[in-house]
Structure 1
Amino acid sequence: MSRYLVVCSDLIFTSKVSGTAQMLGLSCETVMSGAKAESVLDANDDFVGMVLDLNTPGLNLETLLRKTSAELKAKTVAFGPHVEVDKLKQAQELGCAGVFTRGQFTSELPAILQKYVS
């Protein structure tokens, strides 16, 4: 089963992502802070994709993506509020394969996970 990392502090939203992923045959590890995500990536290199909530506390997107292999970065999606234009733009500039507003991500979740992560 393919494994991916979810970086998100919203438990309800994390459940939605995890449930959708399981339906697609993916397993996930969830972390609730940017620092924990960096630590997990330092210790593991077997993730096939990553989902980033740009509103996660302590998320330093530049540092996190610097720790991310080119292969993993190619299967990383980020999402955030539509009003956070700068964060969304930064995620795109730093190489996230897909960048979505939270509404887009929620409404297209199965298709996004299939396209970018699995």
Structure 2
Amino acid sequence: MIVLISEDLMMSSTVSAAVRAEGGTFRFVASVERANVKLEGNNCELLLVDLQAKDLDWDALAELVARVPRAVAYAQHVNVDLLRRGRELAFESVLTRGQLHAGIAEVVTGAAE
């Protein structure tokens, strides 16, 4: 299962299409709290996190990232502070939104390997 924490329906659609193309399962949630609920009893191969998500609980996010095998964060390139803060956590990578959008198939495929 691949979980996306975001409020962005367009990115949700992009990720969902890439996950479906790989035959995977996708869940879209708006908060770390909802992600924790979705992960109960489920195997999460990849956690994607929109660092611009409203009211992001950074402490809970750090705990969640530590529990999953792969975690990738992203934000718009102009949000330098959020990108820097994301790099302080144990994410596999922190990308700009454009980088994620352009490489979503590779990010998702890496979760299926």
**TM-score bracket relative to the smaller structure:** 0.7 to 0.9
List gaps (5 residues or longer) in structure 2. Answer: none
Structure 1 unaligned residues grouped into runs of 5+:
none
Candidates 47, 61, 66, aligned match of 1:64: 61
| Partner residue of 2:24 out of 20, 23, 26 | 26
Q: After the TM superposition, which parts of structure 1 deviate over 4 Å for at least 4 consecutive aligned residues?
A: none
Name the residue aligned to 2:102: 107
CA-atom RMSD, angstroms? 1.8
Stretch deviating more after TM superposition (48-57 or 28-37): 28-37
How far is 1:66 from its partner?
1.1
| 1:78 alignment partner, SS class | strand
* Aligned match for 1:47, one of 36, 44, 54: 44
Shift in Å at residue 45 of structure 1?
Answer: 4.8
Change (3 A) 1:6 1:55: same
Q: Which moved more, 1:53-62 or 1:90-99?
A: 53-62
2:80 and 2:63 mapped to 1: Cα distance? 21
Post-superposition offset of 1:35:
3.4
User: Is contact 2:65–2:90 with CA below 8 Å preserved after alignment?
Assistant: no
Deviations 1:47-98 (A, max 9, x none): 111011111112123322213445x1x4111110111112112222211001
Using the size of structure 1 for normalisation, the TM-score is 0.82
Relative to structure 1, is the Cα distance of residues 6 and 98 closer, same or farther in structure 2, using a 3 angstrom cutoff? same
User: Structure 1 vs Structure 2: percent identity of aligned residues?
Assistant: 25
- In the alignment of these two chains, the number of paired residues is 112
